[in-house]
A and B are shown apart, each in its own frame.
Chain A
Amino acid sequence: MNQDIYVISEHLRDQVADISYVMLSAAHELAQITGGKVIAVLLGQNAKNLANDFAADEVLYAEHPSLAEFTSQAYQLVLEEVIKSSNPRAVLFGHTSIGTDVANCLSARLDLPLVSSVRKFTSDGKFVSQICGGKLMAEGNLPDPTVIITIVPGEYKVESGKASQPSHISSIGVPALENMQVVLKNYIEPETGDVDISKEPIIISIGRGIQNQDNIVLAEELAQALGGVVCASRPVVDQGWLPTSRLVGKSGKAVKPKIYLAIGISGAPEHVEAITGSDVIVAINTDPAAPIFNLAKYGTTADLFDLVPLLTEKVKQAKGS
């Protein structure tokens, strides 16, 4: 085993995902403690230039037509060989739709320990995982020998994972990738709604706390009074109460409004990662321990069903005056 930290970069349709840079930034912190190098791994087809701004000591590039787009099985086969032949101290994956499909399976296949949802590393090299919807953190020593880690955003900055000069990129071998059991057929484009929520300056967002579809009108009235739009966290969209085009979160859109008013939203990590670009977050949630209050600038534990109608009235009055 060596002390290097490997980062499995993610990209989708010719775009490097931000989590790749977050992981590179995390890897530098960890490599300082282990004394190893930061090695970025990139899989793709005609994708070498995607690694040009990776802040890494070295980039390993695997090229193959079957790697042009992500599929879990092809990635697993390539990375299995990479990890087996290099035995690094840690291998970082994104805690994402791409990363977890590969990381979790490789832990079992290679019989290597796995720590998921790691948000940061402490100065003495311990992991800190974010669990229970962001309500708890769990800390511990990194297991031996090579540990597979999935990283959640929040602690490390995208900018510190970027470099102005390209690192040395070396090509690595690719095992046979024929007769695959997992095959990508095509992409289905996001549903385009009446508004692009990523560009809206005033967002009234509702979560599970809204309780049922009939109550959405409360948020709609406030949005109308303020001149904003209604968005939602995952549970509301999964219930079919609002269209996917209004989903804020990991599988939906990231937003950056002047004000994000979170109503009945607990602030699970999947939601929080998409609202950190907001200028001001205001949260209304009866649970004082809701993680949304760790992010919001202003908050109240008042009952939304009492507060929101009154707030709407007062906004109307203020606009009328």
Chain B
Amino acid sequence: MKIVVPAKLIPDLVDELAIDATGTALDSTWLRLIINEFDDHAIEQAIILKERSGCQVTIVSPNVEGVDDMLFATAAKGADKLIKVNGNFEAGVNNHALARGLVPLIQELQPDLILTGVQAHNDMDGSLGALLAEYLHMPYVGYISSVSATSNQVTALKEYPGGLMAEIEIALPAVLGIQAAEQPPRYVAISKVRQMMKTVAIDEYEIPVFDIHGGATVSRMFQPESAEKATMFSGDIDETSNKLIDVFKEIGVL
């Protein structure tokens, strides 16, 4: 079985996010990119399936800063083939455009199963997986947290609110939006990643033009205005803890 995992690097939310001079987009000057955590889970799920039944796993990712390191890390985990996608990503490529651009590449790869993160925190025009499924005329199911595969179908667990799960059978080829892998994404030692850098090649694929229609144009980006911002306790921790003790007493839990 062939599995393709499209994975994206997105802004690290731990860092401060600044708006650029146009006021309509994130300032990318100091932006640190990390793998979309749901894509990380999709990679893990693909590797789990490989270990279980010997699939071939290909990771596909837009060529932005940090992509080589990310791809080599997936090779260290067990991915077989790495492809970075070249194109003008600076211009604000949305998921509709990326999905359209990936279609010829994925058709060429002929996967039985495509696993990708159910969403990314900066998605504004839907999720990549669902759009890709539709452009490839494959079924799509998202919010998946477990996958087992046979030759012509997968059985997957779909998450609903309250911890309820649905066991769903999906005919292959199909696209699944992964919420969580069956186990946490594995850790790989830096030494193993470095070894991959020396021994594994990254293929390249060109998307010459992006067709972004299907998304919306942002006229203003801003930090949320909160009507009631929290009362902040500052000072040393002794003082802060005393104030929290007062809060506990006030609420009546102490």
Chain A residues close to B by CB (< 8 Å): 12-13, 17, 69, 71-73, 96-98, 100-101, 103-105, 107-109, 111-117, 126-127, 129-143, 147, 150, 181-191, 201-202, 226-228, 234-235, 238-240, 244-245, 247, 250-254, 258-259, 266, 268, 279-280, 282-283, 287, 289, 291, 293-303, 306-307, 310-311, 314-315, 318-319
Which residues from chain B contact A143 at a C-beta distance below 8 Å? 215-217
Interface contacts beyond A239-B184, A300-B233: sample of 16 additional A-B pairs, CB < 8 Å, sorted by A: A100-B127, A107-B131, A108-B131, A135-B13, A137-B223, A138-B221, A140-B217, A143-B216, A181-B174, A182-B141, A184-B167, A280-B247, A295-B226, A297-B228, A298-B244, A301-B234
10 A-B residue pairs with CB within 8 Å: A100-B118, A104-B126, A116-B126, A117-B123, A135-B17, A137-B221, A143-B217, A186-B167, A293-B229, A299-B233
A111 and B214 contact, Cβ closer than 8 Å, known pairs A135-B17, A240-B184, A311-B244 = yes
Interface check B195, CB cutoff 8 A: no
Among residues of A, the one whose C-beta sits closest to the C-beta of B167 is: A185
Shortest Cβ distance from residue A273 to the other chain B in the assembled complex, whole angstroms: 9
Q: Is B170 part of the binding interface, using a Cβ–Cβ cutoff of 8 Å?
A: yes
Tell me which residues across on chain A come within 8 A of B93, comparing CB atoms. Answer: none
How many inter-chain contacts with C-beta < 8 Å in the A-B complex? Answer: 282
Within the complex, which residue of B122, B165, B234 is in contact with A187, where a contact is CB–CB below 8 Å? B165
Interface centre among B135, B155, B169, B248 (most CB of A within 10 A): B248
Q: Does B8 contact A (CB under 8 A)?
A: no
A108-B214, A251-B159 known; A130+B219 contact, CB < 8 A: no
Q: Of B155, B159, B234, B253, which is in contact with the most chain A CB atoms at under 10 Å from its CB? A: B253
Interface residue B208 (Cβ < 8 Å from any Cβ of A) = no
Within 8 A of A (CB), among B164-182: 164-171, 174, 177, 179-180
Contact B224 A300 (CB under 8 A): no
Given known A-B contacts A139-B220, A259-B253, A251 and B231 have beta carbons under 8 A apart: no
Within the complex, the shortest CB–CB distance from B136 to chain A, in Å, comes to 10
Judging by beta carbons under 8 Å apart, are B126 and A100 in contact? yes
Over the window 46-73 of chain B, the binary record of Cβ atoms lying under 8 Å from chain A Cβ atoms (1 yes, 0 no) is: 0000000000000000000000000000
Q: How far is the CA of A245 from the CA of B163 in the complex (A)?
A: 8
The 9 closest A-B pairs by CB, nearest first: A190-B163, A104-B130, A108-B134, A104-B126, A299-B230, A294-B226, A181-B171, A296-B230, A97-B143
A-side contacts of B84, CB under 8 Å: none
A139–B121 CB distance below 8 A: no
Shortest beta-carbon distance from A240 to chain B in Å: 6
Binding site for A on B (CB under 8 A): 11, 13-14, 16-17, 19, 26, 37, 41, 96, 99, 118-119, 121-127, 130-131, 133-135, 139-143, 155, 157-171, 174, 177, 179-180, 183-184, 213-224, 226, 228-234, 237-238, 240-245, 247-249, 251-254
> Is there contact, CB below 8 Å, between A139 and B222?
yes
A136 adjacent to B240 (CB under 8 Å): no
On whether A126 and B219 interact (CB within 8 A), knowing A280-B247, A310-B238, the answer reads yes
Closest B-chain residue to A280, C-beta based? B251
Known A-B contacts A135-B17, A190-B164; the reply to A72 vs B215 at CB < 8 A is no
Please name all residues of chain B whose beta carbon is closer than 8 Å to the beta carbon of A181 when the two chains form the complex.
139, 170-171, 174
- The answer to whether A100 and B216 touch (CB under 8 A), given A314-B241, A315-B245, is no
Which residue in B174, B229, B253 is a CB contact (below 8 Å) of A294?
B229
Contact B240 A115 (CB under 8 A): no
- Shortest C-beta distance, B15 to chain A (Å), equals 9
Contact B124 A238 (CB under 8 A): no
Residues from chain A with a CB closer than 8 A to the CB of B119 are 100
A272 CB to nearest chain B CB (Å): 11
Structural contact, A188 and B167, CB atoms closer than 8 A: yes
Q: How many Å from the CB of B221 to the closest CB on chain A? A: 5
CA gap between A190 and B233 in the complex, in Å: 38
Would you call A299 and B221 a contact (CB within 8 A)?
no
Contact pick for B222, options A103, A136, A314, CB 8 Å? A136
Of the candidates B143, B163, B214, the one whose C-beta lies within 8 Å of that of A114 is B214
CB < 8 Å: which of B118, B141, B245 contacts A311?
B245
